[in-house]
């Protein structure tokens, strides 16, 4: 709104000046226009509406939807903080973008290792570890990305935060004995129900937005997996009767309320399985309830992360990259279509794709350009234009031959197979319909 009113006033002023400059010779052509302008001048009393005529409603200018600022096609790669903060590495990745269809970078600014830039926020400054600060200036980085027409996304690891837990242990997930809960990798998490943890992460998101990032992407925006071998997770702030997805959706709505006025897109990374099951996958990521509160959802559909039992007719997911993407993401497309049918625009689906080998799954199978291209084609087949590749080291030499030179539309008209539609119909009775109805009420 702040940007609209000055333009309106300028237009009125300019129009009045031009009309006043018109001499008598132009009065005939401009008579109707002049009459309209003169009627609005303060020197004359405005015409009162008739007694039976309702007053004109106040003009309401609604804020623009930030998602309209996103590129028509999002083709991206992930940059860890080291790659983003090392000039030679960054130049090489910018060169890759200049030579190919890549137009989006997802950049780490906060991970479980800490803050990776020089924040001005008091708590972030307190927790900053100098060795982790690889990005000297967010503004300078964003300027560089924008100079290359890169859609700049700030990635924030939200609740898996051992650095924050060490400083604010009262915000952590507890175990039944009262100690701090620890996951299988030895990480400590803040509770997704803790309002202080919400504020801390959203403050960082706002700082990134004000530095010029086009989008903020929350990762680990979930609860830890509740393996049977681990103690029960205790969340002291959890309201009685509320489920895990309520915490995640409410946090994301709070982030949206802070970031949308800054014209910044809000995104969330989710497990690929959140599209492929009716429930919240045990971590608070029920698809429908998140799809109505954020602008973009990024399911991690890495073929190596699926078991042979997860998807129908995908017996060896890591060796069936195209089929894995078609089935996994196809379910999400069907579910989004049903949200649309209910009258709500759901989040844009932007799948995370695999640019790394997975020897723990398949030691002798390499992910190169063929596997990368197969995943891309799988996304296009189900009607998507978008994808982002993940490599933990931000090294894409092995897959870059899969990237096209020009950024062009490729999404196809998706006709879901009856078997997949039938599967989604069964999910309706397994809680998906109820979750969608709640999502439409809570959004």
pLDDT digits (tens, 9 = 90+) for 345-366: 999 999 999 999 999 999 999 9
Distances (CA, A) of 44 to 32, 41, 288: 17, 6, 56
* Per-residue confidence (pLDDT) for residue 64, from 0 to 100: 72
10 Å CB burial of residue 71 (0-12, 13-18, 19+) is middle
241 token code pair: 């009767």
Regions of the chain short of the pLDDT cut 70: 1-63
Query: pTM to 2 decimals?
Result: 0.86
Please, what is the angle between helix 418-427 and helix 321-341, to 10°?
Answer: 60
Span 211-226, pLDDT tens digits: 999 999 999 999 999 9
The CATH superfamily assigned to 75-442 is: Glycosidases (3.20.20.80)
* Per-residue confidence (pLDDT) for residue 62, from 0 to 100: 42
Domain spans of the chain, in order of start: 6-39, 75-442
Give the span between the Cα atoms of 146 and 151, in whole angstroms.
7
Q: Taking Cα atoms as reference points, which of 202, 440, 242 lies closest to residue 341?
A: 440
Give the span between the Cα atoms of 404 and 99, in whole angstroms.
9
* Per-residue confidence (pLDDT) for residue 37, from 0 to 100: 29
Give the span between the Cα atoms of 259 and 239, in whole angstroms.
26
């Amino acid at each position: 709104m702040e940007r609209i009113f000055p333009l309106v006033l300028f237009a009125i002023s300019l129009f009045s000046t031009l009309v006043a400059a018109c001499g008598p010779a132009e009065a005939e052509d401009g008579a109707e226009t002049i009459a309209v302008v003169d009627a609005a001048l303060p020197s004359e009393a405005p015409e009162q509406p008739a007694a039976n005529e309702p007053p004109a409603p106040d003009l309401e200018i609604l804020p623009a939807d930030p998602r309209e600022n996103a590129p028509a096609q999002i083709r991206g790669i992930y940059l860890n903080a080291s790659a983003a903060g090392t000039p030679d590495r960054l130049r090489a990745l910018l060169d890759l973008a200049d030579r190919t269809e890549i137009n989006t970078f997802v950049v780490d600014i906060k991970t479980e290792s800490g803050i990776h830039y020089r924040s001005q926020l008091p708590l972030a400054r307190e927790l900053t570890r100098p060795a982790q600060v690889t990005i000297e200036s967010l503004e300078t980085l964003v300027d560089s990305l924008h100079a290359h027409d890169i859609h700049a996304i700030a990635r924030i690891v939200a609740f898996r935060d051992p650095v924050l837990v060490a400083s604010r242990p009262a915000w952590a997930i507890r175990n039944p004995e009262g100690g701090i809960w620890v996951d299988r990798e030895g990480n400590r998490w803040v509770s997704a129900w803790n309002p202080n943890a919400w504020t801390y992460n959203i403050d960082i998101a706002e700082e990134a937005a004000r530095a010029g990032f086009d989008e903020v992407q929350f990762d680990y925006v979930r609860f830890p997996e509740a393996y049977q071998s681990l103690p029960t997770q205790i969340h002291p702030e959890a309201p009685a009767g509320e489920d895990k997805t309520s915490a995640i959706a409410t946090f994301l709505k709070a982030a949206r309320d802070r970031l949308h006025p800054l014209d910044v897109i809000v995104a969330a990374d989710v497990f690929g399985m959140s599209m492929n099951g009716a429930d919240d996958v045990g971590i608070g990521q029920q698809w429908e309830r998140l799809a109505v509160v954020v602008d973009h959802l990024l399911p991690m559909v890495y073929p190596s992360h699926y078991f042979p039992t997860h998807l129908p007719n995908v017996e060896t997911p890591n060796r069936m990259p195209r089929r894995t993407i078609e089935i996994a993401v196809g379910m999400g497309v069907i579910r989004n279509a049903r949200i649309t049918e209910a009258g709500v625009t759901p989040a844009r689906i932007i799948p995370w794709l695999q640019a790394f080998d997975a020897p723990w799954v398949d030691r002798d199978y390499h992910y190169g350009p063929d596997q990368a291209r197969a995943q891309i084609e799988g996304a296009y087949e189900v009607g998507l234009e978008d994808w982002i590749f993940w490599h933990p080291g931000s090294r894409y030499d092995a897959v870059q031959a899969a990237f096209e030179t020009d950024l062009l539309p490729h999404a196809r008209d998706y006709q879901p197979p009856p078997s997949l539609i039938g599967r989604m119909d069964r999910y309706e009775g397994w809680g998906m319909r109820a979750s969608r109805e709640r999502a439409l009420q809570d959004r």
